[in-house]
Structure 1
Amino acid sequence: MADRTSSSITVEAGKAEIMAVIADLEAYPKWASGIRGVTVGETGEDGRASRAKLTFDGGVFIDTIGLAYTWKGDDHVTWKLVEPGSVVTGLHGSYTLEEADGSTEVTYELAVDVRIPLIGMVKRKGEKRIIDSALKGLKRQVEG
């Protein structure tokens, strides 16, 4: 899972406001396309999720996976798969926030492995679609 897909968007808000939306995992179904539900299993000392189960609709399939999160203040969050689903066998992702002049550049990186054999190009296109949809949803949620 060395290859990751990445994309960025500028959000007209500060890092703390954006990271608060990202950290509210249980609200993802309201703004993150394809996410059907999130259940936080454990939280860290900062009150943010350290473990969660996520159910998503991949169009052709619905899957539930377990993720572990690592938070670095309002600058960065990473997550990795700790409980594979019926289709998803590997997943690593991150949001990185860089604030400048009242706005913040949000970069989302994602790598997904599935049980179904896919050509690398097809896999990257799927990851790109997930990332772009998530970034646009995040921007709407924060700025709206």
Structure 2
Amino acid sequence: MADRASSSITIRADRDEIMAVIADLPSYPEWAGGIRDVEVLETGPDGRPARARLTIDAGPIKDTYGLAYTWDPDGDGVHWELVEKGNVVSALHGSYRLAGAGQHTEVTYELAVDVRVPMIGLVKRKGEKMIIDSALKGLKRYVER
């Protein structure tokens, strides 16, 4: 797996409110730039998505692939792994981690993506960074609206 890219943002909301938005995968196209469609394929015992298929158009990376989700029981985060390769994406691992108390929560998004096609490292990192920045800024706008 490639090196991970990560970034953080502070959102004026409590962790539960932010996690509820993160867990609502079908709403991602409304706020997460680059995500065009999300289909939840399976839910876990807690009602949160366990598997989903995403279609993305994120700069140099355009694809449809499947992810498996693991939700932290304490509500501090979620991790996902690629379980259905796409035509371009061959490996993917990511997470949201939430920290803080009260009405200010720091959200950290970490992502590592490998692709099947030869891609200059700089271009791939730029794609990862674009996905992360767009998701964090979109999440902040969506939650704070």
Range that drifts further, 48-57 or 110-119? 110-119
Q: Is the 8 A contact 2:76 2:99 kept in 1?
A: yes
Could you tell me which residue of structure 2 aligns to residue 65 of structure 1?
65
Q: Is the 8 A contact 2:60 2:127 kept in 1?
A: no
> Which runs of at least 4 in structure 1 moved beyond 4 Å after TM superposition?
none
User: For residues 101 and 20 of structure 1, do their structure 2 counterparts lie closer, same or farther at Cα, with a shift above 3 Å needed?
Assistant: closer
The offset of 1:88, in angstroms, is: 0.7
Distance in 2, Cα, partners of 1:113 & 1:102: 36
In structure 2, list runs of 5 or more residues that go unmatched.
none
Distance in 2, Cα, partners of 1:142 & 1:116: 36
| Residue-by-residue CA offset, 1:72-121 (whole Å, 9 max, x unaligned) | 03201000100000111110000000013520000000000111212323
SS at match of 1:63: strand
Distance in 1, Cα, partners of 2:105 & 2:77: 12
Range that drifts further, 64-73 or 121-130? 121-130
Could you tell me which residue of structure 2 aligns to residue 88 of structure 1?
89
Q: Aligned ranges for residues 55-134 of structure 1 at < 5 Å? A: 55-60=55-60, 62-73=62-73, 74-134=75-135
| Residue-by-residue CA offset, 1:9-52 (whole Å, 9 max, x unaligned) | 00000000000000000000111111111010110111000000
TM-score normalised per structure 2: 0.94
Could you tell me which residue of structure 2 aligns to residue 13 of structure 1?
13
- Across the two proteins, how many residue pairs are aligned to each other? 144
**1:27 aligned onto 2:27:** yes
The offset of 1:59, in angstroms, is: 3.6
Q: Is the 8 A contact 2:41 2:52 kept in 1?
A: yes
